[in-house]
Amino acid sequence: MTHSRPLLTLLILIIAALTIFPVFGDEFYQELVIRLMIMGIFAMSLDLLIGYTGLVSFGHAAFFGLSGYMLAIITPETEAVSIWIALPFCLLVTALAALIIGWFSVRTSGIYFIMITLAFAQMFYYYFNENQYLGGSDGIFIFFKPTIFVGDIQILNLNNPQSFYYFVLTSLIGSYLVLSVILQAPFGQVIRGILANEKRTRALGFNTQHYKLVSFVIAGTLAGFAGFLEAAAGGIISPAHLGWHESGAIMMVVILGGMGTLYGPILGAFVMGFLQDYFQEIWSAHWLLLFGMFIIFVVLFLPKGIAGLFLQTINRKGNGK
């Protein structure tokens, strides 16, 4: 994965816009952008599976929701928990779940992979939905955001909306960079090889199941990171966060943004988020109708998503020179 000059410019512009946004944006939109940045991280994690490894997971929300529940479980009702305890705990549990689910799932392919990941996610959904200790279908509140202390010094107060905003922005940039490094490393080359031709990759001496499992665990853990942020941002986690609706919605974000690009899913999250907000404003009763029409338009006319449109535009400009 290489970054051309126009793409680098686009990324710098996006980061610059997001950095100065809290100065101008009101509180409502600031909160919305926080949610969209989290959705961007979640969508990138799924893109690693769909767009780079060729694994279409329909149960990716399981890791997103599971991590949120772990934050709820580890946060006491009367005080905040340290991020140094909460975050590793949430990520470790999610990674372990991804390892177990992935171990079974990567042995299948195509429609069977979709069904097995969906089945696992629904198992999680029903477990949390029926668990009265964890709030059942209503979910469970997280009364305090985690604290970030080094010794006695508070590095960042996540209760401050602006601090939380920049924490999520840094997480988004960090996640993008980590995934970029992974994809450029030999591991990334192999999983892209699997996407292009798994049999060929195997015949070249790579245990493709092993690589797919590692990719699944990385994607699950990153989805868990997004779930951790989501739970901290909203202060609540419910079974809806790990249901198939959530998995479907995030898959739509990836397809809309453009699979196999990393920045595409981030763009997809923002376009989908703002359009949702806009459609709800102009036709609140039937906004889903407008939204559905938009999705059909993108699928028909932009098969490579918004990122594809961007690439097409810069390629045309490049050829015109």
Footprint of other proteins on this chain (CB under 8 A)? 2, 186, 189-190, 192-193, 195-197, 199-200, 202-208, 260
Token pair in block for residue 85? 């305890």
Closest separation in Å from C-beta 302 to other proteins? 19
Token pair in block for residue 228? 């951790």
Based on CB atoms, which residue is closest to other proteins, 128 or 211? Answer: 211
Dihedrals φ, ψ of 268, to 5°? -60, -45
Closest separation in Å from C-beta 196 to other proteins? 5
DSSP state, residue 262? S
Closest separation in Å from C-beta 260 to other proteins? 8
Based on CB atoms, which residue is closest to other proteins, 51 or 59? Answer: 51
Question: DSSP string spanning 212-254?
Answer: HHHHHHHHHHHHHHHHHHHHHHHSEE-GGGGSHHHHHHHHHHH
Based on CB atoms, which residue is closest to other proteins, 106 or 172? Answer: 106
Strand 236-237 to strand 140-141: parallel, antiparallel, or no bridges (unpaired)? antiparallel
* Beta-ladder partners of 148: 156
Based on CB atoms, which residue is closest to other proteins, 162 or 197? Answer: 197
Closest separation in Å from C-beta 53 to other proteins? 13
Closest separation in Å from C-beta 194 to other proteins? 10
Based on CB atoms, which residue is closest to other proteins, 28 or 316? Answer: 316
Tell me the one-letter amino acid at 258: G
Report how far residue 28's alpha carbon sits from residue 224's, in angstroms, rounded to the nearest whole number: 25
Closest separation in Å from C-beta 3 to other proteins? 13
Distance between first and last Cα of the chain: 24
Closest separation in Å from C-beta 314 to other proteins? 15
Closest separation in Å from C-beta 315 to other proteins? 12
Question: Is residue 274 within 8 Å of residue 285, measured between CB atoms?
Answer: no
Question: DSSP string spanning 28-97?
Answer: HHHHHHHHHHHHHHHHHHHHIIIIII----S-THHHHHHHHHHHHHHS-SSS--BHHHHHHHHHHHHHHH
Based on CB atoms, which residue is closest to other proteins, 203 or 285? Answer: 203
Report how far residue 110's alpha carbon sits from residue 115's, in angstroms, rounded to the nearest whole number: 9
Based on CB atoms, which residue is closest to other proteins, 22 or 54? Answer: 54
Based on CB atoms, which residue is closest to other proteins, 35 or 202? Answer: 202
